[in-house]
Amino acid sequence: MFYSVNIGLTAIIVVLLIVVINAIKVLREYQRGVIFTLGRFSSVKGPGLIFVIPVIQQMVRVDLRVVTMDVPSQDVISRDNVSVKVNAVLYFRVVAPDKAIIQVERYLDATSQLAQTTLRAVLGKHELDEMLSEREKLNIDIQQILDAQTDAWGVKVTNVEIKHIDLNENMVRAIARQAEAERERRAKVIHAEGEKQAAQSLMEAAEILAAQPSAMQLRYLQTLTQVAGDKSSTLVFPVPVDLLKGLIDKKIVP
């Protein structure tokens, strides 16, 4: 009889220990526990040591750390009818664990699907040149749209980055030709601007020399000195009539 009582007491103690062990939960600093009591939401607990009543209460763990999610490559047709493949990376985290469990089933999958459709919708409203040159603006637009739509799920989208915009080979060659034509246009504009400035400077120099005949003569003699320094043995050069007239007036030429 006494032996049977000991066995029964031991069994009760073992059952109580199992219940206590199952009731004690430890949540890390980045985890929260969404508690349901008899199927109804009751509270959010954690981090640290918490107690969950077995059978009566259930707990769902939620990670609050930032999730880095790759958005698969999407086929996008731009506003100017160019087909491209675009992929991106999405950064988000749970800010309301109860909403992330109650309001949506598998919030990770839901956020991924929403990011894919939003990426196609936003980029489809822009031309190819805007996709290539205004990535920062497009990133902000996509992030704001996603953040507004996932707010009801308790999810905060912190950042969106477009990673790659892949073009077909024909489009790459067309863009290269366009860039080359643009460089040639700029070179011609710069050359024309230089010619204009040089012509302006020559016109001003000619006006100054015309106002001072002696300056013109000195410039002519300087040019002759430079030409005479050449290795050629024979030198033929024109003599301005104005220069001869000046020499005759000074009686240098008989």
**Calpha distance 66→90 (Å, rounded):** 10
**Calpha distance 146→157 (Å, rounded):** 7
What domains are there in the chain, each with its CATH number? 2-63 (no CATH), 67-167 (3.30.479.30)
Please report the pLDDT score of residue 42 as a whole number.
93
Q: Can you give the pTM of this predicted structure?
A: 0.65
Alpha-helix runs per DSSP H in the chain: 2-23, 97-102, 107-123, 128-133, 135-150, 169-211, 213-228, 241-249
**Tell me: the pLDDT tens digits for 6-62?**
777 777 887 778 878 888 999 999 999 999 999 999 999 989 999 998 889 999 999
The dihedral region occupied by 38, where left means phi > 0, alpha psi between -120 and 50, and beta the remainder, is left
Q: Are 45 and 60 in contact (CB under 8 A)?
A: no
Give residue 64's pLDDT band: very low, low, confident or very high (50, 70, 90): very high
Bridge pairing between strands 83-94 and 155-166: antiparallel
